[in-house]
Chains A and B, each alone.
Chain A
Amino acid sequence: KAGVTQTPRYLIKTRGQQVTLSCSPISGHRSVSWYQQTPGQGLQFLFEYFSETQRNKGNFPGRFSGRQFSNSRSEMNVSTLELGDSALYLCASSFGRDTNTDTQYFGPGTRLTVL
Chain B
Amino acid sequence: AQSVSQHNHHVILSEAASLELGCNYSYGGTVNLFWYVQYPGQHLQLLLKYFSGDPLVKGIKGFEAEFIKSKFSFNLRKPSVQWSDTAEYFCAVTPSSNTGKLIFGQGTTLQVKP
Contact = CB atoms under 8 A, between A and B. Distances in A.
Chain B associates with chain A: yes
Interface of A: 31, 33, 35, 42-45, 48, 50, 55-56, 58, 90, 92, 94, 96, 99-109
20 contacts: A33-B100, A33-B101, A35-B102, A42-B104, A42-B105, A48-B100, A48-B101, A56-B98, A56-B101, A92-B102, A94-B100, A99-B32, A99-B97, A100-B51, A102-B99, A103-B34, A106-B43, A108-B42, A108-B43, A109-B43
Contacts of B43: 90, 106-109
Interface string B99-114: 1111111110000000
The contact size tier of chain B is 20 to 34
A43 B44 CA distance: 11
A106 B100 contact: no
Instruction: Report whether over half of chain A's contact residues are helix, strand or loop; otherwise say mixed.
Output: strand
B96 interface: yes
Given A56-B101, A96-B100, A109-B43, 8 more contacts: A42-B104, A45-B101, A45-B102, A90-B43, A90-B44, A99-B96, A99-B97, A106-B44
Q: Which 10 A-B pairs have the closest CB atoms?
A: A48-B100, A43-B104, A106-B44, A102-B99, A108-B43, A56-B101, A56-B100, A42-B106, A99-B99, A45-B101
B63 interface: no
B56 interface: no
Given A42-B106, A42-B107, A43-B90, A103 B46 contact: yes
B100 A50 contact: yes
Nearest to B103: A45
B44 to A, nearest CB: 4
A14 B85 CA distance: 37
B45 interface: yes
